[in-house]
Chains A and B, each alone.
Chain A
Amino acid sequence: MDVDNPGETEARQTLVPAANAPRSNVGHPREARGDDIALEIKDLTIDFASVDGRVRILNGVSLTAKKGEVVGIVGESGSGKTTLGMAILGLLDSPPANIVSGSVTFEGRDLLRLKSSEMEKIHGTGINMVFQEPLDSLNPVYTVETQIGEALKVQRKRQDPPMTQETEEETKKQITDLLRNLCIDKPEEVLERYPHELSGGMRQRVAISISIVEKPRLMISDEPTTGLDAYVQSRILGMFSAQRKAGETLLYITHDLTIASQICDRIYIMYAGRVMEAGETRGVLQKPLHPYTSTLVASVPQGYEDAPPLSVQLGEPPDLRNLPGGCKFNPRCPHVKDVCKETEPKLEKISTERFAACWRVDKELGRFS
């Protein structure tokens, strides 16, 4: 893993920005757009009622996203990534979900305390979400045209003052152009089709285009490229990068570090419903502080057949019904100490924009020790 090689890492750090110079503006939109906060989650704790009693899915999660920023939420299955996205949108049914504490502030309002009628006005054009499985979010009995057209109509109606609705032909032309921009061949034919007639990659692009036409201020995307091949993945990531340029804030949920490294400005590493480490993407991935982040980075296959085995500790993802005491990662952690088994570390600020929850991270030195 290249992270183990400080010489190489440094060389790359100086090389990469030069090679990507024209893009540096895209990579750091905060400097260009100021520090206004689009979304602030504070100490969010959510329980689910299950047959085995209450299960804590999220435990004291705090997160901020600045305007125009792409924030990655990275973790394994069951780490609470999707629940977090659903909680922001108010899509969790209660029961079984129960919001124990915390707040989700979007544009100065706490979303958790809004009435459902007020929340409805935010859905779509304020915040929307692209789900992992587009078949679940597309309506099977309407054509692509109807579904994108509907989103477009809502978007126009909610403008201030409301835009006059365009004629059917103009709408159709707009949708066709949009699909063509997404590299969909023969968009006129695709418009007439139903979701089941499309391939996985096309469906996902249709689902994303529904989100895009609504021009949301915050877009949450939950593993939109999982299981899709490299080409479709590049196309979809390219679309997100265009959205970012348009000033949209994006929460990108994924378990794939390689994707997160491509599009996220900052990432939050989640484990067992907690944030383990947070910071600027490059820093977190190239010099991980938390052993869990190191494990994730070391899990990405590198090199060829003769490369040494990937250095991953055996062990299954945590069982939320039966979590260990102390640090929740301690059973899988190679650097475990007694204190890790007794008390749970808090997420602490290590340096500017860098946070980690680990007893072994030295706050003064700002590194793992």
Chain B
Amino acid sequence: MGDLVKVENLTVAFRSKRREGLFRSGPSLKALDDVSLAIGENETFGLTGETGSGKSTLAKVLVGLYRPTSGTVRVLGREIDYKRRKDITFLRQNVGIVFQDPVRSLNPSLTVKEVISEALIASKSIPKKDYDERINFITKLVGVTKDLLPRRPRELSGGQRQRISLARALVVPKRLLVLDEPTSALDVSIQAQVLNTLKKLKSELNMSYLFITHDINVIKYVSHRLGVLFYGRLVEIGDTRTVDTEPKHPYTQSLISHVLTLKKVGLQETVVSEHRPAPTGCRYRIVCPAAFERCAAVPNWVDLGGGHLVSCFLYDHPSQKENRAVLPTVAASGGGLQGLPREPS
């Protein structure tokens, strides 16, 4: 798989709104901090993390809604200069996006057909006479029936609206589709239908997905590879099955142990403290049960083989590789963050 999108050392910082006198004061907030990842052709890359971990910020950078503070974004080998209009156009021609809220992301005053054709008009990619053909093709593919075309978004159900968002994103063919929590606002049975459609579309339209959600069950089901974000930093990347069954980073281990499944009947009575990121070094070290002195520095990426990368000092023993096997994992010692001494506040 060649790299379709390559993100290197991406940092996005937002300035603090707090003011003292005339000037902005307070530190800027790094929503994304030194994030690198690559998405291959025909691949679904899953990105997960808690609320506020920077998942949506990455999505918005990839469609040109936010500018990176530093770092580079390459799409099809071309480095995107976010100050050049041409590059942004190039970006948007190749990368589409579907947002979480199907109510707020569709213009309420336009009909379904107008919503979809707007994307065609803006792209100027095909002559006007071919619009109908293209719209018919895409709506059939995403499962929107013809009788919905003259209606307005408020007359439709959540699942239908999300399908229309999909049709709008794909009516001009894209190489990468960013899906930012596309099913969290939907009922389970509708979510299942949308997930089935997404899987089918991907093989038919030959594109890649960046699938963002906090729902681990969903992300496992759709993605080939998985990245875990914690307060703006990626902590682990790897094959979905590997990360799910053998999570290495203490945060991933804790996250996966908290996933509710139908198989785990009965409540797990774990005590979770509020996650506070450390300002320096490994962001997870304040709550990490395995933290030690070295964690005050930013951990390096450790390659565990098979494309499984983890950013944690527990595995960073270059001289004695065999030691990794006996290092204590959080899951083995009872899981979660149970019994951790809480920091005095």
Which residues between 1 and 38 of chain A lie within 8 Å of chain B, taking CB atoms? Answer: 2, 12, 16, 20, 23, 27
User: Is A12 within 8 A of B217, CB to CB?
Assistant: no
User: Is B345 within 8 A of A234, CB to CB?
Assistant: no
User: Is A259 within 8 A of B188, CB to CB?
Assistant: no
| Interface size in chain B (residues, C-beta < 8 A) | 55
Q: Quick check: is B191 within 8 A (CB to CB) of the other chain?
A: yes
Contact partner of A307 (CB less than 8 A), chosen from B143, B221, B265, is B221
User: Is A299 within 8 A of B191, CB to CB?
Assistant: yes
Given contacts A300-B262, A301-B217, A305-B44, contact A183 B273 (CB under 8 A): yes
Closest residue of B by beta carbon distance from A225:
B260
Among B69-77, B156-164, B290-298, which stretch is in contact with chain A?
Answer: B156-164
Which residues between 26 and 69 of chain B lie within 8 Å of chain A, taking CB atoms? Answer: 44, 50-52
Q: Dominant SS at the B interface?
A: loop
Q: Quick check: is A229 within 8 A (CB to CB) of the other chain?
A: yes
Closest residue of B by beta carbon distance from A201:
B51
Task: Compute how far the CA of A27 lies from the CA of B255 in the bound complex, rounded to whole angstroms.
Answer: 25
Q: Quick check: is A246 within 8 A (CB to CB) of the other chain?
A: no
A291-309 to B contact mask, C-beta < 8 Å, 1/0: 0000111111111110101
Q: Quick check: is B154 within 8 A (CB to CB) of the other chain?
A: no
B252-281 to A contact mask, C-beta < 8 Å, 1/0: 000100111111111111111111100000
Residues from chain B with a CB closer than 8 A to the CB of A232 are 51
Contact partner of B267 (CB less than 8 A), chosen from A2, A229, A237, is A237
Interface residues of A toward B: which range?
35 or more
User: Is B276 within 8 A of A185, CB to CB?
Assistant: yes
Q: Quick check: is B139 within 8 A (CB to CB) of the other chain?
A: no
Q: Quick check: is B80 within 8 A (CB to CB) of the other chain?
A: no
User: Is B240 within 8 A of A304, CB to CB?
Assistant: yes
User: Is B258 within 8 A of A77, CB to CB?
Assistant: no
User: Is A305 within 8 A of B189, CB to CB?
Assistant: no
A71 to chain B, nearest CB (A): 15
Among B14-22, B90-98, B169-177, B192-200, which stretch is in contact with chain A?
Answer: B192-200
Closest residue of A by beta carbon distance from B222:
A305
A208 to chain B, nearest CB (A): 15
User: Is B220 within 8 A of A230, CB to CB?
Assistant: no
Residues from chain B with a CB closer than 8 A to the CB of A23 are 266-267, 269
B244 to chain A, nearest CB (A): 8
A309 to chain B, nearest CB (A): 5
User: Is A76 within 8 A of B51, CB to CB?
Assistant: no
Closest residue of A by beta carbon distance from B216:
A230
B293-330 to A contact mask, C-beta < 8 Å, 1/0: 00000000000000000000000000000000000000
A242 to chain B, nearest CB (A): 9
B340 to chain A, nearest CB (A): 11
B326 to chain A, nearest CB (A): 26
Residues from chain B with a CB closer than 8 A to the CB of A258 are 217, 260-262
User: Is B188 within 8 A of A257, CB to CB?
Assistant: yes
A260-300 to B contact mask, C-beta < 8 Å, 1/0: 01110000000000000000011001000000000111111
Residues from chain B with a CB closer than 8 A to the CB of A285 are 262, 265
Residues from chain A with a CB closer than 8 A to the CB of B276 are 185
User: Is B255 within 8 A of A77, CB to CB?
Assistant: no
Given contacts A262-B260, A305-B221, contact A317 B190 (CB under 8 A): yes
Contact partner of B268 (CB less than 8 A), chosen from A12, A234, A301, is A234
Task: Compute how far the CA of A91 lies from the CA of B272 in the bound complex, rounded to whole angstroms.
Answer: 35
B198-239 to A contact mask, C-beta < 8 Å, 1/0: 011000000000000010111011111000000000000000
A203 to chain B, nearest CB (A): 12
Contact partner of B262 (CB less than 8 A), chosen from A2, A237, A316, is A2
User: Is A231 within 8 A of B258, CB to CB?
Assistant: yes
A236 to chain B, nearest CB (A): 10
Closest residue of A by beta carbon distance from B275:
A231
User: Is A299 within 8 A of B345, CB to CB?
Assistant: no
Residues from chain B with a CB closer than 8 A to the CB of A295 are 189
A329 to chain B, nearest CB (A): 11
Residues from chain B with a CB closer than 8 A to the CB of A305 are 44, 221-224, 240
Q: Quick check: is A310 within 8 A (CB to CB) of the other chain?
A: yes
User: Is B217 within 8 A of A183, CB to CB?
Assistant: no
User: Is B221 within 8 A of A304, CB to CB?
Assistant: yes
Task: Compute how far the CA of A24 lies from the CA of B287 in the bound complex, rounded to whole angstroms.
Answer: 31
Q: Quick check: is A200 within 8 A (CB to CB) of the other chain?
A: yes
Residues from chain A with a CB closer than 8 A to the CB of B157 are 316-317
Task: Compute how far the CA of A12 lies from the CA of B264 in the bound complex, rounded to whole angstroms.
Answer: 10
B307 to chain A, nearest CB (A): 15
User: Is B265 within 8 A of A77, CB to CB?
Assistant: no
Task: Compute how far the CA of A91 lies from the CA of B337 in the bound complex, rounded to whole angstroms.
Answer: 40
Q: Quick check: is A184 within 8 A (CB to CB) of the other chain?
A: yes
Which residues between 302 and 325 of chain A lie within 8 Å of chain B, taking CB atoms? Answer: 302-305, 307, 309-310, 312, 314, 316-317
Closest residue of B by beta carbon distance from A235:
B272
Q: Quick check: is A255 within 8 A (CB to CB) of the other chain?
A: yes
Q: Quick check: is B184 within 8 A (CB to CB) of the other chain?
A: yes
Residues from chain B with a CB closer than 8 A to the CB of A83 are none
User: Is A281 within 8 A of B265, CB to CB?
Assistant: yes
Given contacts A77-B187, A230-B255, contact A309 B275 (CB under 8 A): no
Which residues between 147 and 183 of chain A lie within 8 Å of chain B, taking CB atoms? Answer: 183
Contact partner of B264 (CB less than 8 A), chosen from A27, A262, A297, A314, is A262
Residues from chain A with a CB closer than 8 A to the CB of B188 are 76, 255-257, 296, 299-300
B168 to chain A, nearest CB (A): 20
Given contacts A185-B276, A303-B220, A312-B192, contact A230 B258 (CB under 8 A): yes
The 7 A-B pairs at the shortest CB distance, nearest first, are namely A301-B221, A299-B192, A310-B192, A229-B214, A258-B260, A76-B187, A312-B192
Q: A76-B189, A301-B191, A316-B159 are in contact. List 15 more A-B contacts (CB 8 A).
A: A76-B190, A183-B271, A183-B272, A183-B274, A230-B50, A231-B258, A237-B267, A257-B188, A285-B265, A307-B221, A310-B193, A312-B189, A312-B193, A314-B143, A316-B190
